[in-house]
Structures are given as C-alpha cells and as structure tokens.
A and B are shown apart, each in its own frame.
Chain A
C-alpha cells in the first residue's frame, strides 16, 4: 500500500491536484509508451504491448482503489473531480478494458491485422471515458467525449481489409460527430442561460442563487436542454437515434464492439446522471417528458427489432439499445435510488454484455463464423464450458434471477415505482418479457440443437479463458451477493449529493 501511495504523489502544479486524475495519467502515459513500442519494437515481439496494456490497467485499477479510500479531490480548478461517483465508473471502465484486452490477444493473431496502435487507441478511449465520468464542467465533458469518440472511430474501422469494418468506422464517424455538434450547441446555450460551464454552479444557479428568478423558464435553457438530450441520446443509442448501432457493432472488430457497447454507455450515462439528475435537477419538469418519450420508444423498439435478428452481433446491438432504455428508466426516477440503480446497472452490464460478445470473438479467433446464430448448433457438444458461460450471460441479460442482470433491473424498477411512475415500470417489465424470447432462442440453438458430426473444435487461448471465467464470476457473484457492491454504488451517489447539495 505504501508503494501505491508513493505512486500517486499529490503533485500540486498550478493549484491542481494531479493525484485526482492518477488513473487517467497512468493510462495516458501508457498510450505514449505503446506508441513508442509500436515504432521501435520488431514485429515478432509485439505481444509485449498486450502485457504493457494489462500491467497499466492493473496499476490504474490499484490507483482507483487507493483514491476510493482517499476521498474526494479535484484537478484543474475543480473542472475535473474524482468523487466516488467518478471513481466507481473508472473501476467499471478499467475492468471492461481488461476484459477487452484479454479478448483481443487471440483475436488479433487470428484475424491477422497489424495490431500497431490498437492497444494505444483502446487505452486512449478508456482515458476519455474516465474523464467523462469525472468531468465537472461542460467543457471537460465535451473534450472527454471527443477523445473517446475519435479513438473509437479508428478502432471500429481497424480491420482495413474488411469493407464492413470500414463502413462501420466511417458511419460511426459521420453520425457521431454530427451528434457531437448537437451536444456542444446545447452546452453553449446552457452556458448562455446560466453564465457558467461548471456543473455545480449551474445547479446552484437554477436553484435560484445568483441568477434571474425565472431562469428555469428561459427558452435558451430549454432549447439547450433539448439539444443536449439529442446529443446524449445518440451516444447511448436511444431510439430514435439508434440507427447507427447495429451497423457499427456488426462491422467493428468483436473485442472492440464488446468494449464500446458497455463503456461508451457507462461514460455517457455517468455524465447524463451528473448533468440531468444533479446539475439540471431544478429543470426536472422540462426534461422529464422528453426523456420519458425517448425511454419508452427505446424499450419498445429496441426489443422488437432484436426479435428479428439472425446475427448475434446485431441482436446484441438491439439488446444494448433496449438496456439503454431500462437505464433511462432508472435515470428518470430522478432520485438517489435511481442514480444508484444506474451505477449498479453498469457494473452488472459490464460483465454480462462483454461476456455475451465473448462467444462471437472466440469463435472468430478460431477462424469460424462467429456472428451467425444458426452456426451455434451443437456448441454444447463442442465446448460445454463456453456454451454454459454464454447461457449464463444471456440469462442475466434477460433478467432472470439469480444473475446480476436481475438485480440491476430490479433496482431500476424499484426506483421508478418509488418515484411514482408505475407506467414506466410496467412498460419495462412487458418489454423485457419480449427480450426473454430472443435471448433464450440463442440458448436453445446452442444447447438443444445438434451440430454437424465433423464440426471443428473450438479452442480458447488462456487469456480468453480468463476473460470468460472472470465475467461469469462477476455475473453470478453480483447476482448472489449484490449487497457489498450495492453499498459501494450508494456511497458513490452520496458523494454526488454532497457535491451538489441535493
């Protein structure tokens, strides 16, 4: 522990406590190291960059652990804060990045693309996500969003020889940068209405200190909120801004799809909670109807579109859209319980959703067709461990107890019922009943339908096996003993409540 403390020295440069962004600095420095490794190390010892990434991620996680016990601190004059809310999301993002790196190793070898900048970009996007969770000012939020998006555009199109991957990267770039424009326009208008880019100051302003009395009725603010909803809804692929999701997810390299499906949403939802539930809390009556409509449409259409998919990656993309809807329901509760549900949901979602993509990635690493659901026939005979684990992930995504997904959904529904919007809970339950069909269909194909007699063997590398085991442990562990992690989530939301005085 003392070594760790020494590693996170609290260097005060220009009134900034750089220790607060320790994990981000560790990963950021590693990005530079990885670029130099890519430039100087000969191609045959490239695996070294996998190990460097893993070591850096573990170091960053230890720093996150240290910061959690250390308490809140700020960097850059309070623009970046490392309160427990941000630190919790840091942890989720780092765990997801570790799982993605473990999964990437054998995938890169088999799909024979030049790994080069792959890990550097992966870590750069993780830094962007962590900064987004820690951003305490609209400017930092936007910069962090750009950092994570720019890295992911390149990663989505990383398989340069595959037209689908190129399409994925290009589509993501065009549509997502368009959405970013909406977001920053909204931010500008909110700054115009409240006179500050600091989230805490905006919150105080709307509660009536230092601002005109009727600022919550100011059209500037309302248009700003509307534009920010568009920007955020695009990034979490909520209906009607979800069109890009299946195409991008299908074409991107599978470990990247797994990584971005969880972490982009986690980072944007962290900002979403911070901005809407806390900073813009006083304007609640204005944004509630907007997000209500988006959440309902997201749950209904996400699940209905997922029914029709025969491609696992597209199916999981629409399932991700639907899960975004459930998380929006928790956000709409606009209460500490709701925010806690959002935080807990992402911990569960990281394990079960990345886990569900692992099957595709591992099959593709074996040189087999990975994303066609009908090709999973007889997987139970070929590799019972992988088939069993995937069954666990899909059950958890469907919200069947005793897995993590059940408890996450339960918290979201409990929060919204408590807030008095039972209609949202009813829609959520009905639509997740639909979802059971498409999750279980995959299980039926895998376990009950016999495969061809001379089917190829499905092997797993040691790292992939570790990733699957860790995800299964997480999914089952969070479902059976959620209390400890639930308490951590509550503490992280408490930190936000003290910061904003709500």
Chain B
C-alpha cells in the first residue's frame, strides 16, 4: 500500500528541490548592489507623505465580528428552508427558538451600544 505513494513522494521532492535550487542559484549567482532607494520598502513606489501606521477606530472590528455572527446564522436557514416540509411543525418551533436566542444576542449588542458609530 505504501508503494502507491512513491510517485507522490517523488513529486514532492522535485517540487521542493526546484524551489530550493532556484533560491540558492539566484543567491549565489545574482549581483548584490544595495543603494538607499533599493533598500526602501517599496522601491518603485511613491514616497510616503504621512506615516502609514495611523490610528483607526476599533469599531471596525466590532462591526466585522457582529457581521460574521449574523451572516453565518443566515447560512443555517437555507438547509432548514429546504427541509421544512419534512421537519413538520417541530422543525418550525426549533427554528423559532434558534431565532429567539439570536434575537436576545442582537438586543444585547444593540443595548450595549456596539452598533452606535459615534
């Protein structure tokens, strides 16, 4: 059974060896003439006017996280809506409970002010 994987192993070795030898060859053969422009982070880019590391509101993180939560929750509606007929009334009730739990989370987030921008 192990023999079946030998071609795969050879492929992995060839791929890794190709990458490694390329890096090695350019390192050995290539010329190295550092100048101030060449060492700057973006050689052909524009010189920065303001420092790029600026403060920005952390609200983005909160909004992004909340978006993710409620977005993923929407995904679970799709299989449910397809199966609803075979799930009968019980399936409907279960989804109501699920939505109620999410609603509590939503009210909590709202009341805590996570959705206020200012």
- Contact segment of B16-24, B48-56, B64-72, B87-95: B87-95
- Contact segment of A32-40, A101-109, A314-322, A475-483: A32-40
Partner pick for B104 among A13, A14, A35, CB 8 A cutoff: A35
0/1 string, A28-50, CB within 8 A of B gives 1: 00001001101110000000000
Could you tell me if B104 and A32 are in contact, using CB atoms closer than 8 angstroms? yes
B38 within 8 A of A: no
Q: Which residue of A lies closest to B94 (CB)?
A: A13
Q: Which residue of B lies closest to A120 (CB)?
A: B108
Q: Which residue of A lies closest to B109 (CB)?
A: A39
Could you tell me if A36 and B107 are in contact, using CB atoms closer than 8 angstroms? yes
Could you tell me if B94 and A40 are in contact, using CB atoms closer than 8 angstroms? no
Residues in A whose Cβ lies below 8 Å from that of B90? 13-14
How far is B109's CA from A35's CA once the two chains are assembled, in angstroms?
10
Chain A's nearest CB lies how many Å from the CB of B58?
A: 14
How far is B104's CA from A39's CA once the two chains are assembled, in angstroms?
10
Could you tell me if B91 and A35 are in contact, using CB atoms closer than 8 angstroms? no
CB within 8 Å: A-B pair count: 21
Residues in B whose Cβ lies below 8 Å from that of A32? 101, 104
0/1 string, B24-67, CB within 8 A of A gives 1: 00000000000000000000000000000000000000000000
Known: A13-B93, A13-B94. A35 touches B108 (CB 8 A): yes
How far is B72's CA from A85's CA once the two chains are assembled, in angstroms?
35
Chain B's nearest CB lies how many Å from the CB of A180?
A: 19
Could you tell me if A36 and B108 are in contact, using CB atoms closer than 8 angstroms? yes
Residues in A whose Cβ lies below 8 Å from that of B107? 36, 39
Identify which of B93, B94, B108 gathers the most chain A CB atoms within 10 Å of its CB: B108
Known: A32-B101, A32-B104. A14 touches B94 (CB 8 A): yes
Could you tell me if A39 and B112 are in contact, using CB atoms closer than 8 angstroms? yes
0/1 string, B82-118, CB within 8 A of A gives 1: 0000010011011000000100110110011000000
How far is B92's CA from A207's CA once the two chains are assembled, in angstroms?
41
Could you tell me if A14 and B87 are in contact, using CB atoms closer than 8 angstroms? yes
Known: A14-B87, A32-B101, A35-B105. A40 touches B111 (CB 8 A): yes
Residues in A whose Cβ lies below 8 Å from that of B87? 14
How far is B93's CA from A38's CA once the two chains are assembled, in angstroms?
27
Residues in A whose Cβ lies below 8 Å from that of B93? 13
Could you tell me if B104 and A36 are in contact, using CB atoms closer than 8 angstroms? yes
Chain B's nearest CB lies how many Å from the CB of A325?
A: 39
Chain A's nearest CB lies how many Å from the CB of B38?
A: 38
How far is B91's CA from A13's CA once the two chains are assembled, in angstroms?
8
How far is B104's CA from A14's CA once the two chains are assembled, in angstroms?
24
Could you tell me if B94 and A39 are in contact, using CB atoms closer than 8 angstroms? no
Q: Which residue of B lies closest to A117 (CB)?
A: B108
How far is B110's CA from A39's CA once the two chains are assembled, in angstroms?
9
Residues in B whose Cβ lies below 8 Å from that of A36? 104, 107-108
Q: Which residues of B contact A (CB under 8 A)?
A: 87, 90-91, 93-94, 101, 104-105, 107-108, 111-112
Enumerate 21 A-B pairs (CB-CB under 8 Å) in ascending A order: A13-B90, A13-B93, A13-B94, A14-B87, A14-B90, A14-B91, A14-B94, A32-B101, A32-B104, A35-B104, A35-B105, A35-B108, A36-B104, A36-B107, A36-B108, A38-B108, A39-B107, A39-B108, A39-B111, A39-B112, A40-B111
Q: Which residues of A contact B (CB under 8 A)?
A: 13-14, 32, 35-36, 38-40
Instruction: Other than A14-B87, A38-B108, A39-B107, give 4 A-B pairs with Cβ distance below 8 A.
Output: A13-B94, A14-B90, A35-B105, A36-B107
